């Protein structure tokens, strides 16, 4: 199976490096100069320092170089996916398109596979998600992820083709559950970062993770997902990782919020946009998502950390 990765950020580069163990991989970078530099130096020093890009990874800025690749991994920010596929849909109409983004599109309220279906209806959509950091994958550290695809035969083929000796993929048909787990855990990771940044302690972080997981399950049920999917790698597993590590961009963003510090605006924080989308969902469907709603308010600077904590702690007492 011929493979291409769209997006030469840290995660896209890491996936290309890992999948090169199975054969040649094409890695597309938006910036032609960056693509040329990576192809020559065999490094992505700006995004994934210290990792050597294998010789069987071809880095290119020309999308037409990917025409013969039947399987394409979309490793781009969630809010860019719709526009990208709209512009380039003719190149991807009949391919296997695997979303590697974690989020909800603000404009449409759709997840990654929904965007793929709307823009490339003849393509086979899937999502690769779960607890993983780019540096770990690129270094060949053992990692387990969820590959969700509604087409069972296609999912089994992708699972075999994309698994490596150190990258273990578990297959699921619950695409909605897998993509919601990956999206929503980023929102809770921001909240966990806020708690630690504000000096509220590990006990408070545990409470945020637990009650946040309850909110994740609530949204999943609303959208028709299976609760057991949220209990797996793409939900609980990813939540634990991103709420407890400084490698998590969403956690670091929340940590900066909690400390009242600025955060690097060049870094994509998927959970910030997702929090707004989830807050809109809560309002539309009248479901109780207090943590996600508070994160959205914090991101938009509509509330202070102190006020958010006070609001959460003064909610009516109830049964768990």
H or E segment and range at residue 97? strand 96-99
Return the closest-CA partner of residue 10 out of 48, 61, 57: 48
Helix count (H) and strand count (E) of the chain? 14, 10
- CB of 122 closer than 8 Å to CB of 116: no
SS3 74: strand
Kindly list the catalytic residues. Answer: 185
Residues shown for the chain: 320
User: Does residue 122 sit in helix, strand or coil?
Assistant: coil
Phi, psi of 29 (to 5 degrees): -115, 140
Distance between CA 281 and CA 293 in Å, rounded? 10
Residue 49 exposure: Cα atoms within 13 Å on the Cβ side: 1
- Cβ pair 71, 98 in contact under 8 A: yes
Alpha carbon 62 to chain centroid, angstroms: 25
């Amino acid at each position: 199976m011929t493979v291409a990765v769209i997006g030469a950020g840290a995660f896209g580069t890491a996936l290309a490096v890992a999948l090169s163990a199975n054969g040649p991989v094409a890695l597309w970078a938006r910036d032609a100069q960056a693509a040329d530099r990576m192809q020559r130096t065999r490094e992505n020093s700006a995004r994934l320092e210290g990792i050597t890009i294998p010789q069987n990874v071809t880095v290119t800025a020309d999308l037409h170089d990917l025409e013969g690749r039947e399987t394409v991994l979309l490793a781009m920010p969630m809010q860019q996916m719709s526009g990208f596929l709209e512009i380039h849909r003719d190149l991807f109409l009949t391919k296997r398109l695997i979303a590697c983004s974690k989020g909800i599109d603000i404009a449409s309220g759709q997840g990654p596979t929904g965007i793929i279906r709307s823009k490339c209806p003849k393509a086979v959509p899937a999502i690769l998600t779960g607890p993983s950091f780019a540096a770990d994958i690129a270094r060949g550290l053992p990692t387990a992820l969820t590959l969700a695809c509604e087409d069972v035969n296609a999912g089994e083929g992708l699972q075999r083709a994309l698994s490596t000796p150190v990258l273990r993929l578990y297959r699921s048909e619950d695409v909605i559950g897998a993509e919601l787990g990956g999206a929503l855990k980023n929102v809770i990771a921001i909240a966990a970062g806020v708690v630690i940044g504000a000096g509220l302690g590990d006990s408070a972080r545990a409470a945020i993770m637990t009650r946040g997981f309850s909110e994740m399950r609530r949204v999943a049920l609303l959208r028709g997902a299976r609760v057991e999917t949220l209990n797996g790698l793409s939900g609980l597993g990813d939540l634990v990782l991103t709420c407890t590590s400084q490698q998590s961009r969403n956690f670091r963003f929340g940590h900066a919020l909690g400390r009242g510090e600025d955060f690097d605006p060049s870094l994509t924080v998927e959970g910030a946009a997702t929090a707004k989308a989830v807050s809109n969902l809560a309002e539309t469907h009248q479901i109780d998502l207090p943590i996600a709603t508070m994160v959205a308010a914090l991101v938009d600077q509509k509330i202070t950390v102190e006020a958010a904590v006070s609001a959460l702690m003064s909610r009516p007492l109830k049964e768990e």
